[in-house]
Amino acid sequence: MKPVRRARPILAALAAAVLLAVLTFRFIDLRTDMTEFLPIGNTEAAKLMMRELRSGAATSIILIGLEGAPPDELARISQAMAARLGASGLFAFVGNGDASLDPAAEQFLFGHRYLLSPASTAEAFTPAALRRDFETLLHQLRSSAAPLAQHYGLADPPGAFLAMARVWMGESDVRSIDGVWFAAGRDRALMLVRTKTGGLDLEAQDRADTAIRAAFADAAPGGARLLVAGPAVFARDAEYGIRSDVRLLSVVSTLLVAALLLWRFRSPLVLAAIAVPILLGLTAAAWAVQVAFGFVHAIAFGFGMTMLGVMVDYPVLLIGHRKQGEAAPATLRRIGAAFNLAVASAALGLTGMVFSGLPGLAQIGVFSVVGLLSGAAATRWILPRLIVAADLAPVSAGDPARLLRIERLRDWRLWGLLPAGGAVVLLMLAPPRIEHDLANLSPVPAGARALDAELRAELGAPDVGQVAVVHGATAEAVLRREEALMPVLDALRRDGVIGGAELAARYLPSAATQLARRDALPDDAALAERIAAARAGLPFRAQAFDEFRQDVAASRDLPPVQLADIANPLILARLQPLLFARDGGWFGLVAPQGVTGRERLAAALNGVPGVTYVDIGAESNGLLAETTARAWRWLSAGAAATLLALAIGLRSPGRVVRVLGSLAAAGAVTLAVLVVAGERLSLVHIVALQFVAGVGLDYALFFARRQLDAEERARTLRTLVTCNAMTMLTFGLLMVCRTPLLRTIGLPVAVGAFSALVFAFLFAGERVARVSGVAAALAPTSRPGAAP
């Protein structure tokens, strides 16, 4: 046959596989956002909260810190930035200090003060109360604060507006220099901005980020540093991290694997043949994930690409073990049992991931398991015909004398117990620390989360540790329930259980409350009479309170303010995160600040009708504990199934012990490395270890095959070293990823794969008999296996 004609089936198969893959990746929904990557919670309220926190209005907050310069300088930069950002039109809210209401917001609130203000009570309009107000007013007019008193006091003697303004401006105890917020303990200026679009609109977040950095640069910051945090910033960073990781993994791992295979087989045709089952495997995996989850997360795809390093083992094992000119069934007969077991064990090694209950990890698991199985199936049933047609095989099995020298290493294999034993001792002395905090599994790096928590605490912004969700059929129902809750919260605040609480009803009372206030307002004639009585003996002229009278009269005709009536962006920016409609109902969030007594807070809020209290930290960590327990169960099930497969496949207790022993040694060494590296053992490590066990079995099984001649053993060794190198290279790549989850998987898998190969070679393979070693190695005939 001419080379071109021999190559034709392979090239045709490759073209078909490429076409299928291209079509598939055009069709599937590849996502990079990080919502839905962590578990969503058990209760309805928890689910709502988690969704809201990850994709709702809360994600539009950006926290900014400025440090590294004298306070005066930082205050100046903060002012300059606030002016720039406010003018940019990208932000619904820009706050950098003593909050002031913009003129439009002030006008709106002033106009509705007798409906909205907590100081608008029937009692406030009695002659006695008015008399006290007038006396205070006179006192203020005498003082240097007279301009303020004239401006607000004459039109509003009961102080309804100022009482409301105090609520709106927030009684924050944030330290302030030159009117600019500063952190309490250090020279760090603080700003809080809210983008107009949600935090998940990547392009809008890019523009916001550019605007913030440009505003900082234009403020001539000198040596000052800019710190930026917040859900939107995380989402953006995580998304860019994921994108760059996926690029890195898919391009570099493909190049590395291809280069290694080219070097090993010195044939582009082999490369083409190997690509066929891989592409088919990836295509099937992408479909499976798309069908099971409705979309494919880029992290799963990226990890799937590193699975190349494992998937590629199967075609490599087949081609690497083929003798030149051999018919396909003959190769399969020699390696078939080990091949099947290897595929089964690798697939079983992924049970922990698939059933972990963490949506992201489950996707990775499904992608990998389907990729492995379909890649192996394609290797088993399609590849043999292709390689026989093209007569692909290794150039040579390798130099038997060299093989012998390498195999002689097994004479010292007891020394191999040393690192394994050392690892076990180390693990007993310093048991791995277990990760209990779900947040540490998030795609957001720990440093960024710490900065966010720090800025939030310094700003007194509600942290998202505890929250109560108030549910109702309408916004009005939610507001009424919140009003019923306010005395409870005020009592908790007095007792020091919480520092305060943000909730919509503080800003926007229910229509019922507003109507009650409206009905309590005196009519104009009555008010005129009361004013006259109250000012008797005071130097106020009769017309001094005309504006007050007009405003009260106008308020008696005002319809109650409802969320839909509010157009002012500043007011909306405050209300929208606290009161919103979802899934046909209305929800209000009550966000306590400075919580010191979680139990008392929970006790006070639990059981109130329509109110659900969620301790998000406890909820997520409970979820993590549950997921981890589930992963352990599935891991045990996977391990038991693997054991059964091994017992059936190997049919020899001695071999089973040696195969498992080498695996256990590799596991101990990997765990020890993780401990030394200071990693906290998390769910991710557990499933990564299980995965590495599945892959590691592959090596042990091939070394443990019976009745091998030297040439076949040489083929096995060379092939396995190739497979291992590919696994190490691709999983090693994970360690340089930006996405923490991928990095976490990278270390145990790379270390585990390498130690699995070493221990499998030492323990699972048979020791070469001393006397007949050379003869046996050189003899082309098979040699009965001798147990050591």
Partner 1 sequence: MTGLAAIPERHATFREEKHLAALDVPLVSQGWLIYRRPAHLEKITTAPEPESLIVDGDTLTLAANKAAPQSVRIGRHPEVGALVDAVRGALAGDLGTLESHYRITAEGRLAAWHLVLLPTDPGVQRLVRVIVIAGAGADISSFSTVQVNGDEDSLTIATQQ
We find the least distance from the C-beta atom of residue 141 to partner 1, in angstroms, to be: 6
Q: In the 3-class helix/strand/coil scheme, how is 47-109 assigned residue by residue?
A: HHHHHHHHHCHHHHEEEEEEECCCHHHHHHHHHHHHHHHHHHCCEEEEECECCCCCHHHHHHH
Residue 336 near residue 731, CB atoms below 8 Å = no
Tokens coding 149: 């008193």
Q: In the complex with partner 1, which residue's Cβ is closer, 146 or 251?
A: 146
We find the least distance from the C-beta atom of residue 143 to partner 1, in angstroms, to be: 5
Distance separating alpha carbons of residues 22 and 673, to the nearest angstrom: 40
Tokens coding 302: 């990226």
Q: Report the Cα–Cα distance between both ends of the chain, in Å, rounded.
A: 47
Least Cα distance to 344 among 649, 635, 633 occurs for: 649
Q: In the complex with partner 1, which residue's Cβ is closer, 156 or 201?
A: 156
Sign, Cα dihedral of 475, 476, 481, 483: positive
Q: How far is CA 16 from CA 97, 235, 315, 437, 539, in A?
A: 63, 38, 18, 46, 97
We find the least distance from the C-beta atom of residue 147 to partner 1, in angstroms, to be: 7
We find the least distance from the C-beta atom of residue 541 to partner 1, in angstroms, to be: 5
Q: Which helix (H) or strand (E) holds 20?
A: helix 3-27
Residue 734 near residue 742, CB atoms below 8 Å = yes
We find the least distance from the C-beta atom of residue 534 to partner 1, in angstroms, to be: 14
We find the least distance from the C-beta atom of residue 538 to partner 1, in angstroms, to be: 9
- Quote the crossing angle between the two packed helices 160-169 and 103-111, to the nearest 10°: 130
Q: In the complex with partner 1, which residue's Cβ is closer, 73 or 452?
A: 73
Distance separating alpha carbons of residues 784 and 771, to the nearest angstrom: 14
Sort 71 into a burial class: Cβ within 10 Å, 0-12 / 13-18 / 19+.
middle
We find the least distance from the C-beta atom of residue 455 to partner 1, in angstroms, to be: 23
Tokens coding 205: 């977040």
Q: In the complex with partner 1, which residue's Cβ is closer, 145 or 736?
A: 145
392 phi, psi to nearest 5 deg? -90, 135
Task: Cite the DSSP H helix spans in 145-297.
Answer: 146-148, 160-169, 202-218, 231-265, 268-293
Q: In the complex with partner 1, which residue's Cβ is closer, 145 or 512?
A: 145
Q: In the complex with partner 1, which residue's Cβ is closer, 150 or 772?
A: 150
Sign, Cα dihedral of 636, 642, 648, 650: negative
Q: In the complex with partner 1, which residue's Cβ is closer, 143 or 781?
A: 143
Sign, Cα dihedral of 364, 369, 374, 376: positive
Q: In the complex with partner 1, which residue's Cβ is closer, 53 or 141?
A: 141
- Quote the crossing angle between the two packed helices 268-293 and 359-381, to the nearest 10°: 140
748 SS3 class: helix
Distance separating alpha carbons of residues 631 and 205, to the nearest angstrom: 36
We find the least distance from the C-beta atom of residue 145 to partner 1, in angstroms, to be: 7
We find the least distance from the C-beta atom of residue 174 to partner 1, in angstroms, to be: 15
Q: In the complex with partner 1, which residue's Cβ is closer, 139 or 651?
A: 139
The single residue listed with the structure tokens 């009692």 is 123
Count of Cβ atoms closer than 10 Å to residue 453 Cβ = 16
Q: In the complex with partner 1, which residue's Cβ is closer, 160 or 180?
A: 180
We find the least distance from the C-beta atom of residue 27 to partner 1, in angstroms, to be: 58
Sort 715 into a burial class: Cβ within 10 Å, 0-12 / 13-18 / 19+.
buried
473 phi, psi to nearest 5 deg? -75, -30
We find the least distance from the C-beta atom of residue 550 to partner 1, in angstroms, to be: 15
We find the least distance from the C-beta atom of residue 123 to partner 1, in angstroms, to be: 24
Residue 761 near residue 407, CB atoms below 8 Å = no
We find the least distance from the C-beta atom of residue 89 to partner 1, in angstroms, to be: 23
Chain length of the chain: 788
Q: In the complex with partner 1, which residue's Cβ is closer, 138 or 484?
A: 138
Q: In the complex with partner 1, which residue's Cβ is closer, 141 or 252?
A: 141
Tokens coding 523: 């009519």
Task: Cite the DSSP H helix spans in 266-327.
Answer: 268-293, 298-306, 308-311, 313-320
Q: In the complex with partner 1, which residue's Cβ is closer, 486 or 544?
A: 544
Pairing of strands 296-297, 30-31: parallel
Which spans of this chain sit near partner 1 (rule: CB under 8 A)?
138-139, 141-147, 150, 154, 178-179, 539-541, 544
We find the least distance from the C-beta atom of residue 156 to partner 1, in angstroms, to be: 13
Q: In the complex with partner 1, which residue's Cβ is closer, 542 or 640?
A: 542
